[in-house]
Amino acid sequence: MFKHIKKQANSLLNRLFNDAELTTEITYKKFESESYDEATGKSTSTYSEYSVDAIRSNTALEAQGTSSVLNAIGFEAGEMFFYLRKSDIPRDNLYDSEILKDYIVADGKDYQVRKCVPIFDIFARIQV
């Protein structure tokens, strides 16, 4: 039964990711290491960057139909999610806490990963 559901979910996911109106190209920044400079007293993080397709979903104020005035000044609230194929996420273990040091870059903004939920072992919902 699970094998059939996974096959159907994979088929649906492929159709969604082939729709150019739904997907957006993002940069996934995978945390690699951190070093501390004794002289400056600062830590420096190192990331590897990957260009991947994602489906973006948010519950920002404009999506909730609130004031166009607030929307016009760029005020947003709510949560933002990115859906990625598991194979596009450059981590072997999506449950590893290191994923919380990763970033997604979309529309020129860096968003730190707050939560990653693998779904059917074929894609993941990433909350930023």
Which one is predicted more confidently, 17 or 75?
17
Looking at residue 15, which CATH number applies to its domain? Answer: 2.40.10
CA distance 92 to 86: 9
Handedness of CA 52, 97, 48, 108 (dihedral sign): positive
Handedness of CA 16, 121, 114, 111 (dihedral sign): negative
Mean pLDDT of the region 112-124: 91
In tens, the pLDDT along 25-52 reads 999 999 999 999 888 899 999 999 999 9
Q: How confident is the model at residue 4 (pLDDT cuts 50, 70, 90)?
A: confident
Nearest 5°: the CA angle 45, 84, 56 is 95
pLDDT of amino acid 78: 65
Handedness of CA 36, 48, 94, 78 (dihedral sign): positive
Mean pLDDT of the region 48-61: 85
pLDDT of amino acid 66: 52
Read off the pTM: 0.78
Instruction: Report the mean per-residue pLDDT for the chain.
Output: 84
User: Could you tell me the residue range of the domain that residue 83 belongs to?
Assistant: 2-127
Task: Report how many domains make up the chain.
Answer: 1
